[in-house]
Structure 1
Amino acid sequence: MRLHSYDDFTPLREIIVGSAANYLSHDRDISFELFHHENISGFRSDWAYPRLAQAGGRTENWVIKQRYAEELHEDVEALAVCLASLGVTVHRPLPLPPDADPIAGLGWTAAPTPALNIRDNTLILGDEIIETPPAIRSRYLETRLLTPVFRRYWEAGARWTTMPRPTLTDASFDLSYMRDASTTLGGPTEPIADPQPSAYDVGLEMMLDGAQVLRLGRDLVVNVAQHNHEQGVHWLERHLQDRYRIHRVWRMADNHIDSMLLALKPGVFLARHDGIRDLMPERLRSWRYIVPPEPDPGAFPVYDDYEDLMLTGPYIDLNVLSVDENTVLVNEQCTGLIKTLEAERFTVVPVRHRHRRLFGGGFHCFTLDTVRTGGREDYL
């Protein structure tokens, strides 16, 4: 059980699949609203921060309907079974207890979430586990649910590193890019004009999710949308030194790159639109960019606009998981993407995932590949 993962496409041997057990609610506070504003800005704007504060509270606990939570759990468990049936060794995090106590930082508390979208708060680079600095308060201790798995890899020789943890006061967040009328990432959105001061303020802090990093052997493509991300990339550069080449892409997305672009094999990307090519490092613009058709609205369940909080856009099904350079796990309801990949001679394994828009992730988000056969190759 030795950690060895440099990319997202060479033959997969071991993987961690997240847990959806007891995913009961979302804590909506400044950290949650900022992270998800691209998708929730058009939803119930009267509930968006800072109007929560004007209504008498700075946090709202948004309860998830039990049926959706149960069906999500069923689908995630089926994903783990599917990967095991393909010969992949599957590891699992600790489940979140149904009566989990709130977690607390300096000046804030939050209801914890299960370790479901585990790609977000961890970056695997070769034989190193890097726990990345979270941007959402409710997810601050999420990687602790992965500790038993990480410890086994560490005992087998892996390096285990934690990036500096932010305090996550209101003043920690770079709000400038949301206030910029020229940005089209998440707008239009209600400006956050009144961040509250705290005795624990330390200024803007580094925040960077593992899902902002595209791994290509010795090259890392990192999406940077604001100053919090920029600080995180600076830390990565100093820490990694000359072991990897880091390439910044500017505002490909608000945060994560893996619902915009994924590498399916050397020389081939799956991309949301062809314009992504122009955002990439010059040496990667010559790769083939497969662009699937626009998502079929009929492929998604119908939700209540005033009760069900959607955290992702309709492009979430681009968030596929490669088992090797020819085999890809795809949401069974995304028929256009399936046909596109089959026309490109990929073997598609259809897997069910009904409520991906409610829980902010797809198959790539739900998983963390820990052993693949590929090395620190120079694909450029």
Structure 2
Amino acid sequence: MKENNLVNSHNEWDELEEIIVGSAQLARVPEKDKGMVAASIGGGYDYFDPNISEFFPEYILQETEEDIENFTSELKKLDIKVRRPEDISINNFSTPDWHCDSFFPYCPRDVLLTVGNSIIETPNLFRSRYFETIAYKETLIEFMQSGARWISAPKPRLLDHGYNMQDKAQLSLNNHEPVFDAANVIRAGRDLFYLVSDSGNRLGMQWLQNAVGHDYTVHELSPSIYSSVHIDSTLSFLRPGLLLANPARVNEDNIPDILKKWEIIYAPKMTEYSYSDIKPSSSKWLGMNLLMLSPTLAVVDKHQTELIKLLEKRGIDVLPTLLRHGRTLGGGFHCITLDVRRKSKLESYF
């Protein structure tokens, strides 16, 4: 590994040095591709307000960008380098198998996964996100040139039969090819935790284990914990030995034994709020979608005062921050960021 390698992030909590923060500048509502419909059936709610025909109202985009600019300004005050995606607009694209339009680069956490000195493009659930990592291509090239290992999972075909559109008792993803969102994974050094759910199948977990090699163990988080999309509003690693859990989803029966070795604190009731009349695309539990800047400092939705108090009791200072339309656009502070460099080394915490 080169000494100037720009990618070095082994967990969710060590002191942050560099980060990618997403953009809502070109936020549009993609057509409901098969993956989105299947996940909606599994999760029991629609993604994005059906009354929005194409683009979100301009004020939502402007206010979101204001909030992101304020957020990144606070990060820069802490000497954290901030990168942003390129503003790209890829519409009406096709593969040999289907036609779709594009998502928007608001949540880099969904499409890119940092594991140590590697950065991985993941094989995502939604057809509309098939080419989303193009927004980060120049940054990824720079990371590679610095010595980082840049790899991409095989592009899935995402054929109709890969989705379960009928049986609500089963997951939305069938196990025909590796498919998973990066946000299905949370990291604790040599141990990676992968949520098998509507946004990640077991073939995806197997591919990830093969990709990261023998230095890491990928542990399955059961759909009984949460069967819909992503893990970062269900479990959050705060520091070695301390875990924040969603009390509506996590309990003694479904949490893996390895995680019972840590102290588990449960998030309080979330404060619900809205800055628009648009139907939210994320649950109220986006309020616990926090970002650790160090083991003693967290970025938390400023409305979540009870959660802030809980963290402060555990010796974690909080940077209360506003993201007015996070639930509308589908991402909180962990979702809209990707930590690429922390002051950390590969360790085992279990």
Q: Normalising by the residue count of structure 1, what TM-score does the alignment of the two structures yield? A: 0.83
1:83 aligns with 2:55: no
Give the counterpart letter for 1:268 in structure 2.
Answer: L
Paired residues for 1:298-337 under 5 Å: 299-301=273-275, 303=277, 308-337=278-307
1:17 aligns with 2:7: no
1:213 aligns with 2:217: no
* Distance in structure 2 (CA, Å) of the matches to 1:230 and 1:333: 36
Contact in 1 for aligned 2:271/2:303 (Cα 8 Å): no
C-alpha deviation, 1:318, in angstroms: 0.7
- Relative distance call for 1:312 and 1:268 in structure 2 (3 A) is same
Deviations 1:39-65 (A, max 9, x none): 5627999x79xxxxxxxxxxx954422
Specify the SS of the correspondent of 1:13: strand
1:261 aligns with 2:232: no
C-alpha deviation, 1:311, in angstroms: 1.3
Contact in 2 for aligned 1:120/1:210 (Cα 8 Å): yes
* Count, aligned residues: 342
Contact in 2 for aligned 1:104/1:110 (Cα 8 Å): yes
5+ residue gaps in structure 1?
49-59, 186-191, 193-201
**1:292 match:** 267
Deviations 1:260-299 (A, max 9, x none): 00100000011111834543331221311221221123x3
Specify the SS of the correspondent of 1:336: helix
**1:179 match:** 168
Deviations 1:60-110 (A, max 9, x none): 95442222222122222222222111211111111124xx43222233332
**1:143 match:** 133
**2:247 match:** 273
Specify the SS of the correspondent of 1:21: coil
* Distance in structure 2 (CA, Å) of the matches to 1:76 and 1:344: 27
C-alpha deviation, 1:364, in angstroms: 0.5
C-alpha deviation, 1:210, in angstroms: 1.1
Give the counterpart letter for 2:309 in structure 1.
Answer: K
Identity value in percent: 30
C-alpha deviation, 1:216, in angstroms: 0.4
Give the counterpart letter for 2:262 in structure 1.
Answer: W
* Distance in structure 2 (CA, Å) of the matches to 1:310 and 1:39: 14
Specify the SS of the correspondent of 1:211: helix
Select which of 35, 41, 45 maps to 2:45: 41
Over aligned residues, Cα RMSD in angstroms? Answer: 2.6
Structure exhibiting the larger radius of gyration computed from Cα positions: 1
5+ residue gaps in structure 2?
none
**2:323 match:** 353
Which has the larger displacement, 285-294 or 258-267?
285-294
**1:225 match:** 197
Give the counterpart letter for 1:127 in structure 2.
Answer: N
Select which of 15, 33, 38 maps to 1:29: 33
